[in-house]
Chains A and B, each alone.
Chain A
Amino acid sequence: MHFNSRLPRKLKHSILLLGMIAIVSISILVVEATNVQAGTASSGEKTGDQSLRVAEMGGVLKGSLLMTIENNPNAAIPPPKKDPCLHCHITGENKGLWTPLARWSLFGSMGLIFVFGMFRTASVIINRTPWKPLTARTTEWVDERYNISEPLSKVLSKPVPKTALRWWYCLGGITAFLFVVLAITGILLAFYYKPTPEAAYASIQYIETQVRFGSGIRAIHHWAANGMVVMCIAHMLRVFIMGAYKPPRELNWMSGMLLLILTLVFGFTGYLLPWDQRAFWATTVGSEIAGGIPVIGNLALVFLRVGWDVSAETLSRFYAMHIIAMPIFTIAFMVAHFLMIRRQGIYRPL
């Protein structure tokens, strides 16, 4: 050990801590200082807007320590109409992937890992005991307060039969995962979508062309939706073939069928939202078919269309169904479905 063992322990700890802080802050200062003139070191950001480069070059710390607006010849007060948020959040011509957010996240997390590593090394040296992993520390901290390690270990150690490890047992889980993917991408799309006939089409064009990653998010949403329908049907067929619907699993089968119907309703309501010719007329035809139901046909048609024709009211109703009503029902029945499986166990075939 390099430490002078004749120094008192608290003094050693203070020296160590101050030393770490000194190393970290000196390295930050060095990096910032050498980066003053390297404004275009950031790749791909050719906005040509010099006022924004001040904010670009490493942020607040650099700006306050090394440069003021008066010292830097490149700086200028941003023109009043240009919103600096638009620089990286939504851009016109420049839709590069390497944004200040990405840079800060990447280098920031690398820096935090480095600082944590230094702290851990120091702790091991000072205390002369092996490092207790963060996972163990966290579970201990939670368990001291909530005392859940026993019920949790009972849940986690539940035996899974080896017959259930074949690929066709994954189909239900894949469906659930796709639902989560659709929820996340759906929320992101709902940030920009406008549910009126006048604005819907243009808002989706905006998402596809102007929003960063917008067309990617929309593509994931589109294909995950199709995939979820396929996986849901495949899962249903697997359960049907294996006879896993038989007593005592009747309610589980029925909740599953309901989830399939909800998935198809999700698809039907979501399909109208772009408000293009295909969406509009497919919805018209679909609600006509619903109108053909005996006895309640007219009621069904008017309920779906909110009137006799597909209109702005229809769009609002379908949008509310798609983002509020269907998710609530689907999550409720998914919870019921999972709880029943958990309670009864996987069906064991012959």
Chain B
Amino acid sequence: MSELTTHEHEEETIPFYPDHFKTELKVVIGLTILAVFIGVIGLIAPVGLGEPADPMNTPMHVKPEWYFLALYQVLKFVPKTLGVLIPIVGVTVLIFWPFIDPKQETTRKPTIIRFIVVAIAVIVAIAMTIWGEMS
């Protein structure tokens, strides 16, 4: 592999087995306990169903799953074509982002900038999701 991947500096490492494996095992066991806990709660309070589907009868408030609510809310204010294009273009740009920003970094500053951008985007997305849920 090229110079991009050789590491000159001495790095503090631990062996994968058994040290890191045991750490990961603890995470897995913890998550399994959490899953069982959710299952037990589900036995007492099941997820449930709404009314059976009726193609003739559109309910008042139709909403997609929560992870699409932000987009749904945006679509209410933006014309349909543009509203569809924004996520498609956005996701495409994100997919090809390593080719847009390939510059190897020497300082921490770009990381901090990216963190701030992501923080703002996440807050906006959560706000739009809550708004989408409310209306």
Chain A positions within 8 Å of B, measured between CB atoms, are: 155-163, 165, 170, 173-174, 177-178, 181, 197, 201, 204-205, 208, 213, 215-220, 222-224, 226, 229, 237, 240-243, 245-250, 253-254, 257-258, 261, 264, 267-268, 271, 274-282, 284-286, 289-290, 292-294, 297, 309-310, 344-345, 348-350
Contact = CB atoms under 8 A, between A and B. Distances in A.
A158 B16 contact: yes
A340 to B, nearest CB: 12
Contacts of A274: 49-50
Nearest to B112: A241
A162 B12 contact: yes
The 10 closest A-B pairs by CB, nearest first: A219-B42, A159-B13, A216-B39, A156-B17, A215-B46, A280-B53, A250-B98, A276-B50, A292-B84, A162-B12
B43 A226 contact: no
A261 B15 contact: no
Contact of B114 (A158, A177, A243, A285): A243
A174 B35 contact: no
Contacts of B130: none
22 contacts: A163-B11, A165-B14, A197-B53, A201-B52, A216-B40, A216-B42, A219-B47, A220-B39, A222-B42, A242-B111, A267-B65, A267-B67, A268-B68, A274-B49, A276-B53, A277-B52, A278-B59, A278-B62, A292-B81, A292-B83, A293-B84, A350-B106
Given A246-B104, A247-B102, A226 B66 contact: yes
Contacts of A170: 27
A261 B91 contact: yes
Given A219-B38, A224-B35, A277-B50, A245 B59 contact: no
Interface residues of B, number: 77
Given A173-B24, A241-B114, A245-B98, A218 B63 contact: no
Nearest to A282: B64
Contact of A208 (B47, B104, B107): B47
A174 B52 contact: no
Given A215-B46, A282-B64, A160 B53 contact: no
A304 B21 CA distance: 42
- Grouping DSSP codes into helix (H, G, I), strand (E, B) and loop, the A interface class, with mixed when no group exceeds half, is helix
Nearest to B125: A233
B42 A277 contact: no
Nearest to B68: A286
Given A158-B15, A162-B13, A222-B47, A292 B80 contact: yes
Interface string B64-97: 1111100110010000110111001001001111
A280 B59 CA distance: 10
A165 B55 CA distance: 52
B35 A220 contact: yes
User: Which among A173, A220, A249 has the greatest number of chain B C-beta atoms within 10 A?
Assistant: A220
Contacts of A293: 84-85, 88
Nearest to A155: B16
Given A220-B35, A285-B64, A275 B52 contact: yes
Contacts of A253: 95, 97-98
Nearest to A152: B17
Interface string B104-124: 111110110011001000100
A281 B38 CA distance: 28
A197 B114 CA distance: 47
B11 A208 contact: no
A240 B102 contact: no
B91 A161 contact: no
A248 B51 CA distance: 51
Interface in B1-37: 1-2, 4-5, 7, 11-17, 19-21, 23-24, 27-28, 31, 35
B127 interface: no
A310 B55 contact: yes
A164 to B, nearest CB: 8
